[in-house]
């Protein structure tokens, strides 16, 4: 067993590396958010239908599912440093494919291939950063873990919002392909800087990790993953295609205005997520503590109110701008809390050498939810408009809440089952 000085040195090194991996994750998040807006609006301007726009992102989500499944095993087997550098490298390739391609190559199949690589890159980088939280939080410090996870996840989403804003700005100022090359250069510089500054690795690789272990035997992890599918489908079913196309075509907003609105929404969502530990948890004799399964269920049921209210308001012809701005602000705040609770719970349910694999499995479910929402966002909007997307959101949130009722609840240091 190491001395206290050696353990302190190890924690200090882990913290330094964690700061580096988080900074790399932030840059990748900015580039990812910007490229999504660039692809959406560039191909919208070429006359693509809502369903065709959604199809551009299908491989992004499909390969996100595969990446989280395989990546969790790779991270456990070879270490988080390997998956981090792989993610940044693949992102450079994905962005360069769009920035350097002849204009004749910018068709659905080619863009789907580049988006597949972008999905791989984003999820490798995200999984590395989220798993690395366990390296800097003391074992058993659940409240500390909740705060760290909420801060990381909130900052990531805020920066993704900045990325949406950046994408709209770059499209306006320099055009599609030049913007992609700027983003590729930023990620490449980050990769080089991280490789030069990182000392050692990120945790100890487990040479005995087996791929079959990726499929969790932990009931709580499996239930949480299932709830996560429907939670993220409830957002992306209106957010990916339905809302931006509605704002552009029905309300007549410019690309700049739509990008700015999406950016502000995601930045606000991230800020709420980062602050979740201050006011969302389980109230006991010692005050507010970390959340549990009941918290996730209650917040999900509250969340379902907002897309239903927005859909009804649009159907009775209330002012759509006011309805969407106010309603989606409220939805974003509650969704952020629900997502923060989920992100804490997955790490709380994971222990020892299972962290990377459980996180990979969990984010595989996350990507599955985004895939479901993305496809339906284009299909439902083309079929019945934005209100159909919103009612689908209600259904998905309610399913997430019902699954969350089956998660364990922590009370006075012991776990008890919640009946549905």
Interval 15-32 mean pLDDT: 83
Tell me how far apart the alpha carbons of residues 254 and 245 are, in angstroms, rounded to a whole number. 11
Structure confidence at residue 136 as a pLDDT band (50, 70, 90): low
SS3 329: helix
pLDDT at 285: 43
pLDDT, tens digit, for every residue of 41-92? 888 888 888 888 888 888 888 887 888 777 666 766 777 778 889 999 999 9
In the predicted model, what is the mean pLDDT of the chain?
A: 80
pLDDT at 412: 32
pLDDT at 12: 46
Listing DSSP states for 316-382 in one string gives TT--HHHHHHHHHHHHHHHHHHHHHHHHHHHHHH--GGGHHHHHHHHHHHHHHHHHHHHHHHHHHHH
Ordered domains of the chain (ranges, CATH):
4-416 (1.20.1250.20)
> In this predicted model, which residue has the larger pLDDT, 361 or 109?
109
Q: Is 50 exceeded by the pLDDT of residue 286?
A: no
pLDDT, tens digit, for every residue of 206-220? 555 555 555 556 788
Interval 401-407 mean pLDDT: 92
The proportion of the chain whose per-residue pLDDT surpasses 90, expressed as a percent, equals 29
Tell me how far apart the alpha carbons of residues 365 and 232 are, in angstroms, rounded to a whole number. 9
Residue 168, token pair as written in the block: 């709209």
The proportion of the chain whose per-residue pLDDT surpasses 70, expressed as a percent, equals 76
pLDDT at 19: 78
Interval 214-228 mean pLDDT: 78
HSE of 303, CA atoms in CB hemisphere, 13 A = 31
- Say if CB 76 and CB 209 are below 8 A apart: yes
Q: What are phi and psi of 127, to 5 degrees?
A: -60, -40
Q: What angle do CA 373, 374, 376 make, to 5 degrees?
A: 65
Residue among 91, 89, 87, 80 at smallest CA distance from 128: 80
Tell me how far apart the alpha carbons of residues 58 and 51 are, in angstroms, rounded to a whole number. 11
Task: Count Cβ atoms within 10 A of the Cβ of residue 109 and give its class: 0-12 exposed, 13-18 middle, 19 or more buried.
Answer: exposed
Listing DSSP states for 157-178 in one string gives HHHHHHHHHHHHHHHHHT-HHH
CB neighbours (10 Å) of residue 41?
Answer: 23
CA of residue 217 relative to chain centroid, distance: 24
Q: Confirm whether pTM is higher than 0.85.
A: no
Q: Which of 51-65, 181-195, 281-295 has the lowest mean pLDDT?
A: 281-295
Interval 264-289 mean pLDDT: 67
SS3 150: helix
Q: Is 70 exceeded by the pLDDT of residue 318?
A: yes
pLDDT at 321: 93
Listing DSSP states for 241-288 in one string gives THHHHHHHHTS---HHHHHHHHHHHHHHHHHHHHHGGGT-SEEETTEE
Tell me how far apart the alpha carbons of residues 392 and 385 are, in angstroms, rounded to a whole number. 12
Q: Which of 221-225, 262-266, 318-322 has the highest mean pLDDT?
A: 318-322
pLDDT, tens digit, for every residue of 346-375? 877 776 556 666 776 777 888 889 889 988
Tell me how far apart the alpha carbons of residues 253 and 258 are, in angstroms, rounded to a whole number. 6
Tell me how far apart the alpha carbons of residues 215 and 344 are, in angstroms, rounded to a whole number. 20
CA of residue 206 relative to chain centroid, distance: 26
Residue 259, token pair as written in the block: 């990008």
């Amino acid at each position: 067993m190491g001395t206290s000085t050696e353990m302190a040195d190890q924690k200090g090194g882990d913290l330094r590396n964690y700061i580096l991996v988080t900074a790399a994750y932030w840059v990748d998040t900015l580039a990812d958010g910007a490229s999504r807006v660039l692809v959406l609006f560039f191909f919208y301007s070429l006359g693509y239908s809502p369903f065709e726009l959604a199809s551009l992102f299908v491989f992004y989500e499909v390969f996100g599912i595969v990446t989280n499944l395989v990546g969790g095993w790779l991270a456990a087997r070879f270490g988080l440093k390997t998956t981090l550098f792989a993610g940044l490298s693949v992102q450079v390739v994905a962005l360069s494919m769009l920035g350097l391609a002849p204009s004749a190559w910018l068709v659905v199949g080619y863009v789907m291939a580049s988006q597949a690589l972008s999905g791989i890159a984003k999820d490798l980088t995200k999984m590395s950063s989220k798993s690395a939280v366990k390296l800097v939080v003391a074992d058993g410090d659940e409240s500390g873990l909740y705060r760290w996870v909420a801060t990381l996840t909130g900052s990531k989403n805020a920066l993704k919002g900045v990325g949406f804003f950046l994408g709209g700005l770059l499209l306006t100022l320099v055009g599609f392909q030049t913007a992609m090359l700027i983003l590729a250069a930023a990620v490449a510089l980050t990769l080089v800087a991280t490789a030069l500054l990182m000392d050692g690795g990120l945790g100890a690789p487990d040479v005995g990790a087996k791929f079959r272990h990726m499929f969790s035997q932990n009931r709580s992890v499996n239930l949480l993953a299932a709830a996560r599918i429907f939670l993220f489908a409830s957002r992306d079913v209106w957010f990916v295609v339905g809302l931006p196309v509605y704002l552009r075509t029905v309300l007549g907003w410019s690309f700049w205005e739509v990008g700015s609105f999406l950016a502000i929404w995601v930045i606000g969502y991230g800020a709420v997520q980062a602050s979740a530990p201050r006011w969302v948890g389980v109230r006991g004799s010692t005050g507010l503590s970390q959340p549990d399964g009941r918290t996730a269920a209650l917040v999900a049921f509250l969340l379902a109110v907002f897309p239903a209210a927005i859909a009804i308001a649009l159907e009775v012809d209330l002012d759509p701008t006011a309805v969407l701005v106010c309603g989606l602000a409220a939805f974003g705040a509650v969704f952020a809390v629900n997502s923060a609770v989920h992100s804490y719970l997955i790490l709380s349910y994971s222990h020892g050498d299972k962290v990377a694999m459980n996180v990979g499995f969990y984010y595989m479910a996350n990507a599955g939810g985004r895939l479901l929402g993305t496809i339906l966002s284009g299909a439902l909007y083309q079929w019945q408009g934005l209100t159909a997307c919103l009612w689908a959101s209600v259904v998905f949130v309610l399913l997430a809440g019902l699954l969350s009722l089956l998660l364990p609840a922590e009370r006075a240091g012991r776990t008890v089952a919640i009946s549905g």
